[in-house]
Chain A
């Protein structure tokens, strides 16, 4: 097995009384694509934000390239963050900036690239996600949800990061656009040789982009295996989730009238 690019050990996080992460253990091997599946509100986004340092976990350790990021000072941490690209669940585009500047943002602000050169790269990345150069001049509010997702994807890969996080890349897209995005993810990972961690509820997407799959439930990783093993995991939780059944060990917190 290849070395671990990212490793979470016993990571816990609570908000007030609500325990969201309850001792997460997870490893993403270098150059592989891990997909985390799990129900809504189980802490998937919080887990990713802990790795990025946007949320500080209460306890546990997080290693990136073997170094504990929670022990780092601000400047070391900033260096580590340069390795990352992130596609947010809600795209999180800067609505005060035109699309091309959104895509080029990390190059201009983070890497001090000249605006002209950064714009050329931005247009090239937009083309990769199937958007014309003219779209670059629009503002995010003028785009459809699917286009915003694609711009978010272009922004995530713009600086050729070593590690990319995708938070629900296909949610809210039609099935065809979803598959286009899946292809884009697979391609960008192949082109960049990146390590990726994706979150999704969408099993078609998971099957397409995953090397490995892990399932999170109630703040813990309850199952992990290769893509091929998902269908006969022998795990009742995983079975229920991938077949989308209301009956099973996972009880949704829904109040029945």
Chain B
């Protein structure tokens, strides 16, 4: 087969996908601010996306904070390590690891769940049925999930920040014999509000990515159980990659100076 034909097909396919995604996002976002609003559904989704992700995110943050503390201690020279460990754990968790790892964990859980649910609704014609009952599927299905994810991800990451720093603290004071008071003081001295808010802004963006990818792939799934499975996988993979890419872009913008 002609190489150019294959390249052309891939390029066209990718462009078509980007076009479809842009259209999907536009259709959904344009409904966020137009009544009617489905508050009950937003609350329900916040519970599912936020509350039920807490254990996963908390455990991830705790172990990451602990491992980070060990790594810095072993890697750096022990001279001065007491202040360096506390600082780097605090900055690393709030700026990067809290939002990114939290985002990835929630992507695995929530994007998959959303894609599977909406994908099943698509192949069993439930999404078509919504249209015939004078209910816009974007408004009813996509908007509550996107809004809930954008609101809850920063909350989750804020909790992850606290628990991650605690993980570092527990390991430092427990197995590295650091002084607890000094550790807390070092953390408080070096951690600035900007570090935390930058992480929370990232988290909101990741929330948008997670919900949008889940909904987009669910909406476009076709062909029965296999199609739903494929949509689920695609949702998690694209959400994860987009989170990492968006994180890079935001880090370079937020910390440019």
A interface residues with partner B (beta carbon < 8 Å): 49, 52-54, 78, 81-82, 84-86, 88-90, 92-96, 105-106, 109-112, 155, 159
A94 to B140, CA, bound (A): 13
- Asked if B20 is at the interface (CB within 8 A of a chain A CB), the reply is no
| Residues of B with C-beta under 8 A to A155 | 133
Q: Are B132 and A85 in contact (CB under 8 A)?
A: yes
| Residues of B with C-beta under 8 A to A92 | 124-126, 128-129
A93 to B121, CA, bound (A): 9
| Residues of B with C-beta under 8 A to A95 | 120, 124, 126
What 12 new A-B contacts, CB under 8 Å, besides A81-B131, A89-B125, A96-B117?
A52-B132, A78-B136, A85-B132, A88-B129, A94-B126, A95-B124, A106-B133, A109-B135, A110-B134, A111-B134, A155-B133, A159-B133
Contacts A92-B124, A92-B126, A93-B126; is A52 near B131 (CB within 8 Å)?
Answer: yes
Number of interface residues of B (CB under 8 A): 16
Q: Are B133 and A105 in contact (CB under 8 A)?
A: yes
The 4 residue pairs across chains A and B that have the minimum distance between CB atoms: A110-B134, A92-B125, A106-B133, A92-B129
A54 to B133, CA, bound (A): 12
CB distance from B150 to the nearest CB of A (A): 22
Q: Across the two chains, which residue of chain B brings its CB closest to A97? A: B126
Interface of B, secondary structure class, is helix
A89 to B126, CA, bound (A): 11
Indicate which residue in A88, A96, A109 contacts B134 across the interface (CB closer than 8 Å). Answer: A109
| Residues of A with C-beta under 8 A to B129 | 86, 88, 92-94
Q: Are A90 and B134 in contact (CB under 8 A)?
A: no
Contacts A109-B140, A112-B36; is A88 near B128 (CB within 8 Å)?
Answer: yes
A109 to B141, CA, bound (A): 12
For the A-B complex, the count of residue pairs with Cβ-Cβ distances under 8 Å equals 54
Q: Are A110 and B131 in contact (CB under 8 A)?
A: no
Q: Are B135 and A110 in contact (CB under 8 A)?
A: yes
CB distance from A87 to the nearest CB of B (A): 10
A88 to B125, CA, bound (A): 8
| Residues of B with C-beta under 8 A to A84 | 132
Q: Are A54 and B131 in contact (CB under 8 A)?
A: yes
| Residues of A with C-beta under 8 A to B135 | 105-106, 109-110
CB distance from A179 to the nearest CB of B (A): 25
> Which of B121, B124, B140 counts the most A-chain CB atoms under 10 A from its CB?
B124
Indicate which residue in A53, A85, A90, A93 contacts B131 across the interface (CB closer than 8 Å). Answer: A53
Q: Across the two chains, which residue of chain A brings its CB closest to B30? A: A74
A78 to B128, CA, bound (A): 13
Q: Are B126 and A81 in contact (CB under 8 A)?
A: no
| Residues of A with C-beta under 8 A to B125 | 88-90, 92
CB distance from B159 to the nearest CB of A (A): 28
Interface string of B111-153 (1 = CB under 8 A from A): 0000001001100111011011111100010000000000000
CB distance from B32 to the nearest CB of A (A): 16
Q: Are A110 and B133 in contact (CB under 8 A)?
A: yes
A110 to B121, CA, bound (A): 19
A94 to B136, CA, bound (A): 15
A159 to B132, CA, bound (A): 11
A60 to B150, CA, bound (A): 42
A105 to B140, CA, bound (A): 12
CB distance from A110 to the nearest CB of B (A): 3
Q: Are A81 and B132 in contact (CB under 8 A)?
A: yes
CB distance from A100 to the nearest CB of B (A): 14
Q: Across the two chains, which residue of chain A brings its CB closest to B44? A: A96
